[in-house]
């Protein structure tokens, strides 16, 4: 694994490989825990990509300063996991969920998992040490963490020992759970914490199969759906492939790139479009100069399809123009060619649309 500094540099330079592996990887840890508990993926706007894209765009707007300004000694993965956790909780709030018990119940789940583990003593000591390290200048926080997590005293007993009110202990306990303990356990023990959820899902699917019920689509983090397409023979004879690198356009050529709805053209093909081909900051959709923006950072593939359909209609009505489609969605948006390519099925026989080679490879299968 590379250093935190190199990861942040990769984010700031919009390195698609670092972004896919580390940004989406760190976010996935937190999402999987809350998805199992609250069935996020079944709620409109709470699927993984909707929330991860919201978090990414927020960081991008602030030039990744929240990550650059993280406290000394705090790992980037811990800081990001905690930040994304609050994005999830805020989204649940907006979904008209009862927020007040969410943090408490998730904290209870974390502690229940630790206490059921074969390594309870070691994990409790690590949690107490993590709190002590985070609150270096707060002796009361350190003592509460030691007495509650390691020594096993109740909050009431701790209040008596420290000569403070039980309410004061409880407020500090909730604070350390939100800021330190839950993110620490998710990052370091998420595999064990989520193992039970995976087992339950597999058991449920097995029961469907035994009952002869219709097959259940696997959740996104188990496997992504692939598409089987019939390709017109005419297209197979003459593939129109977008060049890997485009620096100059002919007068009738349009550079098609992946964008975000906010129109922040800061990295990758979007940056190229803004610097060289007339893309306009603040315009996230459609024709602008010699470029055409297709939003890809507002959720899952299903949210991209309407914009691709709109693009295909536009290209079909402007046959005097040639459209060079780049690998939209396959950079910092986090998708793979096999997910995006099928959206362009209706464009493969259009003589004025060029597609990336890896999109065509998918469509050829």
> Whole-number mean pLDDT of the chain?
81
316-345 tens-digit pLDDT = 999 999 999 999 999 999 999 999 999 999
Question: Per-residue DSSP letters for 104-166?
Answer: HHHHHHHHHHHHHSTTHHHHHHHHHHHHHHHTTT-HHHHHHHIIIIIS---HHHHHHHHTS-H
The number of beta carbons lying within 10 Å of the beta carbon of residue 43 is 15
Higher-pLDDT residue of 102, 352: 352
Q: Indicate the CATH number for domain 236-364.
A: 3.40.220.10
Longest CA–CA separation in the chain, Å:
83
The mean pLDDT of 258-283, rounded to a whole number, is 93
> Is pLDDT larger for residue 36 or for residue 265?
265
pLDDT of residue 342: 95
Q: What is the mean pLDDT of residues 175-197?
A: 67
3-class SS of residue 260: coil
Exposure of 114 by Cβ count < 10 A (0-12 exposed, 13-18 middle, 19+ buried)? Answer: buried
- Give the C-alpha separation, 320 to 145, whole Å: 69
The answer to whether 214 and 328 are in contact (CB under 8 A) is no
What is the reported pLDDT for 146?
84
Is pLDDT of 76 > 50? yes
Q: Where in the chain is the domain with CATH 3.40.220.10?
A: 236-364
pLDDT value of position 232: 45
Report pTM.
0.64
Gap between the Cα atoms of 148 and 124, Å rounded: 9
For 221-237, what is each residue's pLDDT tens digit? 323 333 334 444 444 44
pLDDT in tens, 79-111: 998 889 889 888 888 875 433 444 455 566 666
- Please state the φ and ψ torsions of residue 238, each to the nearest 5 degrees: -150, 90
Contact call for residues 150 and 124 (beta carbons, < 8 A): yes
Report CA dihedral (293, 299, 305, 309) to the nearest 10 degrees. Answer: -30
Of residues 105 and 276, the one with the higher pLDDT is 276
Specify the range with the lowest mean pLDDT, choosing from 14-28, 161-175, 263-277: 161-175
Q: Report DSSP state, residue 41.
A: G
Contact 330, 213 (CB under 8 A): no
Report how far residue 52's alpha carbon sits from residue 14's, in angstroms, rounded to the nearest whole number: 15
- pLDDT given for residue 35 in this prediction: 84
90 or 55: which leads in pLDDT: 55
8 Å CB contact between 323 and 353:
yes
| CA distance linking residue 191 with residue 193, whole number of Å | 5
The confidence score (pLDDT) of residue 196 equals: 45
Query: Percentage of residues in the chain with pLDDT exceeding 90?
Result: 45
């Amino acid at each position: 694994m590379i250093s935190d500094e190199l990861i942040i540099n990769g984010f700031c330079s919009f390195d698609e490989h670092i972004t896919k592996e580390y940004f989406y990887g760190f976010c996935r840890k937190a999402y999987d825990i809350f998805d199992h508990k609250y069935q996020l993926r079944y709620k409109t706007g709470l699927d993984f990509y909707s929330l991860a894209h919201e978090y990414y765009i927020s960081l991008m707007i602030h030039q990744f300063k929240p990550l650059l300004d993280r406290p000394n000694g705090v790992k980037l993965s811990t800081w990001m996991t905690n930040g994304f956790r609050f994005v999830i909780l805020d989204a649940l709030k907006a979904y008209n969920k009862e927020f007040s018990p969410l943090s408490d119940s998730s904290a209870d789940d974390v502690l229940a998992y630790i206490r059921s583990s074969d390594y309870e003593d070691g994990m409790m000591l690590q949690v107490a040490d993590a709190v002590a390290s985070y609150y270096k200048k707060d002796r009361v926080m350190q003592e509460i963490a030691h007495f509650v997590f390691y020594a096993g005293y109740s909050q009431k007993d701790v209040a008596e020992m420290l000569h403070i009110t039980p309410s004061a202990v409880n407020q500090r306990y909730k604070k350390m759970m939100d800021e330190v303990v839950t993110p620490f356990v998710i990052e370091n023990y998420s595999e064990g914490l989520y193992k039970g959820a995976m087992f339950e899902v597999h058991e449920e699917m097995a029961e469907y199969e035994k009952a002869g019920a219709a097959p259940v689509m696997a959740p996104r983090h188990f496997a992504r759906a692939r598409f089987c397409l019939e390709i017109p023979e005419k297209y197979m004879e003459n593939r129109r492939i977008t060049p890997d690198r485009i620096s100059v356009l002919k007068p009738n050529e349009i550079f098609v790139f992946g964008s975000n709805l906010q129109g922040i053209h800061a990295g990758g093909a979007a940056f190229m479009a803004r610097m060289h081909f007339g893309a306009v900051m603040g315009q996230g959709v459609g024709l602008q100069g010699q470029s055409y923006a297709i939003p890809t950072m507002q959720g899952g593939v299903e949210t991209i399809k309407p914009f691709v359909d709109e693009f295909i209609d536009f290209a079909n009505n402007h046959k005097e123009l040639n459209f060079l489609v780049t690998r939209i969605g396959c950079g910092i948006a986090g998708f793979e060619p096999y997910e995006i390519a099928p959206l362009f099925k209706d464009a493969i026989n259009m003589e004025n649309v060029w597609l990336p080679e890896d999109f065509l490879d998918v469509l050829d299968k």
